[in-house]
A and B are shown apart, each in its own frame.
Chain A
Amino acid sequence: MKRKHLLGIQGLDKKEILFILDTAESFREISKREIKKVPTLRGKTLINFFYEPSTRTRTSFEIAGKRLSADVINLSASGSSLVKGETLKDMAKNLEAMNPDILVIRHPCPGTPLFLANIMDCSIINAGDGACEHPTQALLDLFTIREKRGRLEGLKVAIIGDISHSRVARSNFHAMLKLGMKVSIAAPSTMIPPYLERFGVKVFNFMEEAIKDADVIMMLRIQLERQTNNLFPSIREYSRFFCLNPERLKMAKEDVLIMHPGPLNRGVEIDPEVADGPYSIILNQVSNGVAVRMAILYLLSGRSDDDAID
């Protein structure tokens, strides 16, 4: 793959997305071995810089890096010199002076991965930049859907929840539309960003309309602090209209897949019975996250000998 960075799904084409998914297939098996380690990235240094709290994504990248034998360093904003007033640029330059190979960045400000890519020599992987993108999440979501359904094209996906603030929703609909999937979203009017239809998604206010005949339902986490911004009146009312409960589940296809990027608000956007039920593939998403991230680390660091990958 002739690509140095993974900044977002927007910059990828269909072929590249499928190539990453195919590559991830071969990495899945490593995590099932007795000795879960291959020497692929031995001698490479991976910095995991998480400016925002994260359990899943940070751990997933760390495990992915370690199973490939990379040296993995974890850095959080509170434990970094940013709290001493150092600018992001200075910090990036200082990290770079220690010659890392890959920097994984999670940051609340959109565009930060590009900012770093412009000033650093190492590969940059976007692990979530504000409301803009979370490309590895979208890739692992696609991987999981394909694993369960055997195909992607033509499938109908409903994404439900706070689209305005969701990088997961954005990366997913960019990717899904590129792969010929049909995307419907449903959210309160206050959480639908402007001109969403222009991207090619169908927009609904009530989730019943979006999940009808859906092959996949992706529930988004509602951030409880949005209530103070008047984006919804109360958790109680949000839940009344936007909780995926067994009753609503009946409106979807019989073999529907239920997804959630986590962390869950049990009983708010997703009923525990549904989250833990037979249609849920939420934990498969997490398992596959490791394989997909291993593939991405491998592809970005091995870009010089891409003949070997083809």
Chain B
Amino acid sequence: MMLLIKKGRVLDPASKTDDTMDILIKDGKINSIEKNLLAKEKIEVINAKGKLVVPGLIDVHTHLREPGYEYKETIKTGSEAAAAGGFTSIVCMPNTMPVNDNKSVTDFIVAQARNKGIVNVYPVGAATKGQKGEELAEIGELKEAGVVAVSDDGRPVMNSEVMRRILEYTKMFNLPVISHCEDLFLSAEGVMNEGYFSTLLGLKGIPEAAEEVMVARDIALAGLTKGKLHIAHISTKGSLRYIKEAKERGIDVTCEVTPHHLTLTEEYLKEYNTNYKMNPPLRTEENREALLQGLRDGTIDIIASDHAPHEITSKEVEFDHASFGIIGLETTLPLTLRLVHEKVISLKEAIARLTINPSRLLNLNKGSIGIGKDADITIIDLEKEERIDIKKFRSKSKNSPFDGWRLKGVVEKTIVGGRIVFDRAEKG
């Protein structure tokens, strides 16, 4: 099967390409990239004139909820949401039921992804058995089964000794450790950022320090062990400061940020709308600005959705009782492009954080448009404006605070392994 993408603006940060080019795809791989490729017979041609052609986007932080919470999301619906959002590869966290802490669960996820998924799905294995933070999971076997990283995700490893061993043990398998940095004693019962608005609203706050003490601890342990540390969804200025300093000292640490922490602040919680309840919580404007600066100066490597689907009944309750998290697969790209339109970061920098940087972190050998590479490609209309409508989301859950927002930049086509898995033209 062949596919020809004509006259698109090919932007590939990895190869420093930014030019109008044609791309020929053959048997799922990129066959040639040239100025003027002639369409031979029987080749499907995509006219990408005026469109942006980038490596397929990669999301290093999603929750697909299967097995166990299929009423929130499934691998099928999650992958469809990913495709609609321009993602060709997604990485799913292990907090399923049962927890993905052993080969059989990983095998199930990989099989479901193969049979029902429409994008590449890479599981993250739990770092400890049952995400309990006590005993190491069988990380070697998990790696053989296909996990690309380990993490205890939303149940951070509170025991520093255990975290040390995780960082040490994963080294021999060349697996990064993804850390959700939160001191559970400091954050206990908290539901929003601790600050002026938590005082105003009477809600229990989560101090910035709850994140920062763990960022500092994990960096110290990464220094001790020479392990590979990736810090998930950072939300504070202080975390950035620690990470920046650690990078300068040569410690192997990377980090990600979510579009919502780059876009929203705690002020949005004023009406107790549970779609703004997330963990880490939305912080202050000062922190948001620091995160934008971190993107600009390169301290932040990756933008990730932290796609966290929840059924309506777990959000339509008292604020204290509502689940944490929002979905993000279908809004991450336009929210990132908003930063480009507002000149916070360049287009190239934005795309790098959604393609080659995630690929490098997880050794996926993707995230770049090059001859012989997997034909994972996203075609974007940069200037087109669209109103976000949660009713049109592919995701099974609709918990997004961005409903009704008008955002510029829409996905035209998503191509995975040479196959078009999302086509805006066919969108209902």
Contacts and interface: CB of A to CB of B under 8 A. Distances in A.
A193 B318 CA distance: 22
A115 B195 contact: no
Contacts of A131: 202-203
Nearest to A165: B202
Interface in A105-136: 107-112, 114-115, 129-133
Contacts of A110: 201-203, 272, 319-320
Nearest to A192: B199
A110 B202 CA distance: 6
B316 interface: yes
A130 B198 CA distance: 12
A170 B317 contact: no
A132 B320 CA distance: 12
A115 B202 contact: no
Contacts of B318: 88, 107, 109, 111-112, 115
Contact of B205 (A109, A130, A133, A194): A194
B187 to A, nearest CB: 14
B247 interface: no
Contacts of A108: 320
B271 interface: yes
Interface string A142-179: 00000000000000000000000001001000000000
B286 to A, nearest CB: 13
Interface in A76-114: 87-89, 107-112, 114
B15 interface: no
A196 interface: yes
Contact of A87 (B203, B272, B317): B317
A32 interface: no
A204 B320 CA distance: 30
Contacts, number: 59
Contacts of A170: 202
Contacts of B196: 194-195, 198
A95 to B, nearest CB: 16
Given A130-B202, A195-B195, A114 B317 contact: no
B115 interface: no
B329 to A, nearest CB: 27
A96 B198 CA distance: 31
B320 A130 contact: yes
B376 to A, nearest CB: 42
A194 B320 contact: no
A310 to B, nearest CB: 31
Interface string A190-203: 00011110110000
Contacts of A167: 202
Given A111-B203, A131-B202, 7 more contacts: A110-B272, A110-B319, A130-B320, A133-B202, A193-B198, A195-B199, A199-B200
Interface of A: 10, 87-89, 107-112, 114-115, 129-133, 167, 170, 193-196, 198-199
28 contacts: A10-B200, A87-B313, A88-B317, A107-B318, A109-B319, A109-B321, A110-B202, A110-B272, A110-B319, A111-B272, A111-B318, A112-B318, A112-B319, A114-B271, A115-B272, A115-B318, A131-B202, A131-B203, A132-B201, A132-B202, A167-B202, A170-B202, A193-B198, A194-B196, A194-B198, A194-B205, A195-B195, A195-B199
